[in-house]
Amino acid sequence: MRLRALLDTDALGLRLLGGEDELDRTVRGVMTTDLRDPSRYLSGGELVLTGLAWRRDAADSEPFVRILVQAGVAALAAGEAELGDIPDDLIVACAKHRLPLFAVHESVAFATITEHVVRQVSGERAGDLAAVVDRHRRMMTSGPAGGGPDVVLDLLGTDLDLRAWVLSPTGRVIAGPKQAAPEPPADVCAQLAEEHLTATRGGRRGPHRVLVGTTTYSLFPIRSSGRSPQAARDVRETVLSDWLLAVEADSSDWPEERLDLLHGVTQLIAVERDRRDAARTVRRRLAQEVLELVQTGAAPAEIAARLRVAAPVLLPGLGAAPHWQVVVARVEWDGGEIDGGPVAQSLLEEILVDPRTTGPEPSDRIAVAHTGDEAVALVPLPAVTGEQDGDGENAGVLADQLLRSVAEPLSAGLDGDGRLTLGVSAAVHSAEGLRGALEEARHARRVAAARTGRVCAAGHHELASHVLLLPFVPDDVRRAFTARLLDPLRDYDRRHRAELIPTLEAFLDCDGSWTRCATRLHLHVNTLRYRVGRIEQLTSRDLSRLEDKLDFFLALRMS
């Protein structure tokens, strides 16, 4: 802003005492000081505010003004609250060094002037940055020559002192400033994503303000550049796939210019998102072709040939994959009127990002197809040193890891009327094993679907235990079986506070060991024997028999 604009602002109460010819100088900041030598705190272009406490006599004015001029300040404003009229020696010194001098009326606080200058300068800098953002957006629209969103996030940091990151719906950091700005911790990112999804599902307009600890963040939704906010038929079609911009600042008192700038940044990042989605087209098509071959019973040689075509795309520079894995996801909404396949596809592409990869396309190794409400990911697993044939059992994607990474944020996006279920196969070594892997992943997903919760996952290892059978037992059979075995114990516990059910659970968990169970429950062995005897008496079962132990074990799991 110009000095002339300050003089023309009546609310500031400034009176010009000298330097009329210099009023077109640009003000880049403001500083209040009563130091005799404030040069170490000046960088040039400031409006310096002073109460004149540094002045002991007339000889002090000349060196003080000379220091300000050498530092390149724009002007000096002296307050009248302490000394009344501004001393003549200061007026003469400023005129000698061509430094504009203002008098600040005693009724005007320095804070008022500071706030006005900061607001005006920030707005102008935001306008300059907006032009840069607009140019950058035009460059990225025609290709990746703009350098990606990291460049603009760096500009936000250097020009407006705003730290910002692009986050996925699961809280993964997609982009951030490269200039000495460490990423927020993973749990903070997950909380920000969860708050964003909750606000979006609730119909609240962005930016959303979130307080995490003592830090306030403003969350700006990033929507595809190819559609307006109203273009989607239902917010549920996009809420689980849209990115967000998290800014470490409180946007509630921002001027419109700054808000417009941040919305421009989100549009720029949306262009990058569309570019990445376009780059996934080839991988999606390859996955679709392989999936169709597997499902139609094509010969293994034909599937293997298609995989050889896919390998250079999915594993650039690494050759063929020694193992493949299949992950199946399904998104279901109450009412069933929304096609969950595309949403599940976007989610799998997001949550299966390989943390070992770097660069602008961290998910290049994942190929995902979708049919109906189901999405199927084909995950290539590069060779692991020392790995032997048949030793892919613990390699690659693990169901519990997937669940931990996405459960909390995505549950907010599914709030009340949606579910995400995931199934993970074991690693297979060849095209012949892909059909089995697909069926295994689908079966694991059905196991996950039988559980409670908005986000559930199951892996191949669960298909070889009682866990596979229990979800498919009819509800009436479950109730009858558990009631026959456990209701007598529950009734007894309710009447006598005897804790027979916890005792039974601990006894089975200790494999029937009297000593270990008594130690765990902090009981004397004789007390434990009395309780187990009471359990056997009430249920007419014998806990020394394997069959009766198994019945109790299953009843507790199904209750």
Full pLDDT tens readout for the chain, 559 residues: 788 888 888 788 789 999 988 888 888 778 888 888 888 878 788 899 998 989 889 999 999 999 999 989 999 999 887 778 899 999 999 999 999 999 998 888 888 888 788 767 665 555 555 555 555 554 444 444 445 677 778 877 776 778 899 998 888 888 888 765 678 888 898 889 888 888 887 778 878 899 998 899 999 988 765 444 444 456 666 777 788 899 999 988 887 777 877 887 887 787 777 777 777 787 788 888 888 888 887 888 888 888 777 766 666 555 555 678 889 998 887 765 667 788 888 888 877 865 434 443 444 567 888 887 789 988 877 654 334 444 444 455 676 676 666 666 676 666 666 788 888 888 888 777 888 888 888 888 888 887 778 888 888 777 655 555 565 567 777 788 889 899 999 999 999 988 999 999 999 988 888 998 999 899 999 999 999 999 999 999 999 888 888 889 888 877 7
Helix (H, G, I), strand (E, B) or coil at 492: helix
Q: Which two tokens stand for residue 306?
A: 């298609």
CATH 1.10.3470 fits 283-355+363-469, yes or no: no
Q: Return the exposure string of 175-205: e unless at least 16 CB atoms fall within 10 Å of the residue's CB, then b.
A: bbbeeebeebeeebbbbbbbbbbbbbbeeee
Superfamily of domain 143-279: Dynein light chain 2a, cytoplasmic (3.30.450.30)
- Each residue of 215-247: pLDDT tens digit? 999 999 887 654 444 444 566 667 777 888 999
With CA atoms as reference, report the closest residue to 425 among 454, 449, 457, 456: 457
CA distance 492 to 483: 13
> Does 207 sit behind a cis peptide bond, omega within 30 degrees of 0 on the bond before it?
yes
Helix (H, G, I), strand (E, B) or coil at 163: coil
pTM over 0.75: no
Chain center to CA of 307: 33
pLDDT for position 487: 93
Query: CB-side exposure of 17: number of CA atoms within 13 Å?
Result: 26
Q: Which two tokens stand for residue 63?
A: 């060196």
Domain ranges of the chain: 3-108, 143-279, 283-355+363-469, 475-558
With CA atoms as reference, report the closest residue to 313 among 363, 376, 370: 363
DSSP state of 370: E
With CA atoms as reference, report the closest residue to 83 among 50, 127, 38, 129: 50
pLDDT for position 121: 67
Indicate the class that CATH gives domain 475-558. Answer: mainly alpha
Check if the beta carbon of residue 229 is closer than 8 Å to that of residue 238.
no
pLDDT for position 500: 94
CA distance 127 to 260: 9
pLDDT for position 524: 93
pLDDT for position 432: 79
What amino acid occupies position 130?
A: A
pLDDT for position 392: 43
Backbone φ, ψ for residue 419 (5° rounding): -140, 145
CA distance 160 to 515: 67
Fold of 3-108: 3.40.1390
CA distance 38 to 56: 16
Q: Which two tokens stand for residue 341?
A: 């396949």
Helix orientation angle between 514-521 and 500-509, rounded to the nearest 10 degrees: 130
The DSSP-derived string for 323-373 is EEEEEEEEEEETTS-S--HHHHHHHHHHHT--TT--SS-TTTT-EEEEETT
pLDDT for position 362: 45
